[in-house]
Amino acid sequence: MNMHSEAHICHCLTRLATLRRHSALTIHAGRRKTGMQFVQAVTRLARGLLHLGIKPGHVISLSALNSDLYLEWLLAITYVGGIAAPLNYRWSMEEAKSAMEVARPVMLVTDSSSGYWHSKFNIDSVPSLRWHVQMDGPFNVFSNELLAEPARVNPELDYLWAPENVAIICFTSGTTGKPKGATLSHSALVIQSLAKIATVGYDEDDVYLHTAPLCHIGGISSALAVLMAGGCHVIAPKFETESAFEAIRDHNVTSLITVPTMMADFISFRLVNRRSESIESVSKILNGGGGLSAKLVEQAAKVFPRAKILSAYGMTEACSSLTFMTLCDPAKEVGRLPSDDVETSNLSSRGGVCVGKPAPHVELKLCVEESCDGGRILMRGPHTMLYYWGLPPSLGSNQVDEGWLDTGDIGRVDEQGNLWLVGRAKDKIKSGGENIYPEEVEGVLSQHSGISGVVVIGVPDSRLTEMVIGCIRVKEGWQWTDSDVDHSQNRCLSSTILRQFCKDKYLTGFKIPRRFVLWEKNFPLTTTGKLKRDQVRAQLMSHAQILSSKI
């Protein structure tokens, strides 16, 4: 096989060196690099790695805040056939060591930021490590003296591939158990990038603001898509609403990605700071990590009036996005959600969240089980991970027959070809012989103006198998009452009020929580903002008396 015909994420470098020879490709902390300077930095790092003895298949982990250096290292590692294994800087030391025990990196690359696990790391604690390099340090094994010795390295430096064309080991969020390393190939990353370019519309005129960490698949895949499109990268260490606003204004940012909490932060920051001006430069926003409500889209369109707003559904194992949906497009006067085209009765009786249609390279099918609410969503295509790194084949994937991978989600497809998410298979509640997906119930309850947060859990019950419990966080200015009297006009919440609210929203009777619990602290989340539902259940079960109070 001619390896040079295979996809490689560094293939875009030659184009960038000419396309942006004199214009900025990366902007970070006042440092601007042209396309040529960026490519030269990547190849210098690649030569340094070869000089140290890095071979194709060697794993190199990174833990750092976002920067131009991080992006250069990510590419340099894969340039020489290494496998990049980004680690979350927000992990605990134990989580980081656990991930490195799985990935077995020969090198750890970190930055000088303090307060994170990597600032206190001891190389001797991970046996596989031979080097610990600080990417922004004044002295390390990649000193100027080393990099200035071209005679000691191959002057005809060319791309190399790891076995099986592996490029990146990207760890999942770990909502249950330890994070697992999804093994992603060069082809998967390139195809995902091309899909984003085609669907979102990235091009060489884009100025892209990095809002997602480069250790997450959303941040990695969008960064690579903009690199391949030839756009400019504005890189902040991490997302902060005020500094993001300033970066958008100072650099005329045209595109960014969000999750619902980021979008809500943009909107609330504008309101709190009484800023009436809209942001005219942004033309495309891709939202992931959860759906945007119609109200949030409407508010976002006021902040970003010229932006095409899209939403994506995906997962690390799919190399990011599986489906896309346009929520708002000023150029085409598209202002309605696809759900607006579906009769209200269909929404209320069947539930779910519309996530749009599959990307061109993605094949989906449903595996219908005993539930009439939908089936397990299976996927296949060149975007799919190879396996979970370090796990035996029997445990190393969710694959079923004919190469299909089980997403773990339950969904259905409507007559227009839109995929609707009903819930997570592992979170399904079996109550009185009926299947209940907590996400559907949460979606109804969250519409109440007095609720700031809600998690629905199933707990063991001798009669029903599982009883549906609603954990409720009350908004400021509202109060919880144990009285059965209807206090709905007095900014009060009670079990009676919430049960009636569910009925008014046409939620099927067996899905309405039998009991409600007042939850006074924040719900536990992963570093990517995903709910740790198992922890909520564990806390609920460990305080059994709570089930007989405030309900």
pTM for this predicted structure: 0.84
Q: What is the pLDDT of residue 174?
A: 59
Contact assessment for residue 501 and residue 455, using Cβ atoms and an 8 Å cutoff? no
Please, what is the Cα angle at 486 between 483 and 487, to 5 degrees? 85
Tens-binned pLDDT, residue by residue, of the chain (551 aa): 455 679 999 999 999 999 999 999 999 998 999 999 999 999 999 999 999 999 999 999 999 999 999 999 999 999 999 999 999 998 889 889 999 999 999 999 999 999 999 999 999 999 999 999 999 876 455 544 444 444 344 456 899 999 999 999 999 865 556 779 999 999 999 999 999 999 999 999 999 999 999 999 999 999 999 999 999 999 999 999 999 999 999 999 999 999 888 998 999 888 777 666 789 999 999 998 777 878 889 999 999 999 999 999 999 999 999 999 999 999 886 554 444 443 322 333 456 788 999 999 999 999 986 645 689 999 999 999 999 999 876 555 566 567 899 998 999 999 999 999 888 888 889 888 788 889 889 989 999 999 999 999 998 887 788 899 999 999 989 999 876 655 556 789 999 999 999 999 888 888 999 999 999 889 988 766 778 888 888 888 876 544 444 44
Contact assessment for residue 66 and residue 239, using Cβ atoms and an 8 Å cutoff? no
SS3 content of the chain, % helix, strand, coil (to 5): 35, 25, 40
Backbone angles phi, psi at 268, to 5 degrees: -70, -35
CA gap 360, 357 in Å, rounded: 9
Q: Cα 486 from chain centroid?
A: 41
> Cα separations (Å) of 242 from 28, 211, 265, 272, 535?
16, 12, 9, 11, 32
Q: What is the pLDDT of residue 47?
A: 94
Residue with the two structure tokens 């191959």: 154
CA gap 544, 509 in Å, rounded: 25
Q: What is the pLDDT of residue 380?
A: 95
Range 3-313 has CATH code 3.90.550.10: no
Range 430-548 has CATH code 3.60.10.10: no
Every domain range in the chain assigned CATH 3.40.50.12780: 3-313
Every domain range in the chain assigned CATH 3.30.300.30: 430-548
CA gap 355, 366 in Å, rounded: 15
Taking the C-alpha atoms of 503, 505, 511 and 517 in order, what is their torsion angle to the nearest 10 degrees? -80
Buried-state track 261-295, b at ≥16 Cβ within 10 A, e below 16 = ebbbbbbebbeeeeeeeebeebbbbbbbbbbbbee
The radius of gyration of the chain's CA atoms, rounded to the nearest angstrom, is: 25
Contact assessment for residue 452 and residue 428, using Cβ atoms and an 8 Å cutoff? no
Q: What is the pLDDT of residue 227?
A: 98
Task: Output DSSP code: residue 32.
Answer: E
Q: What is the pLDDT of residue 249?
A: 94
Q: Per the structure block, which two tokens stand in for 245?
A: 């606003």
Residue with the two structure tokens 């609720």: 451
Q: What is the pLDDT of residue 348?
A: 32
Q: How far apart are the first and last CA of the chain?
A: 66
> Cα separations (Å) of 270 from 216, 239, 274, 275, 299?
27, 16, 6, 5, 11
CA gap 21, 16 in Å, rounded: 7
Task: Output DSSP code: residue 34.
Answer: E
* Sequence letter at residue 407: T
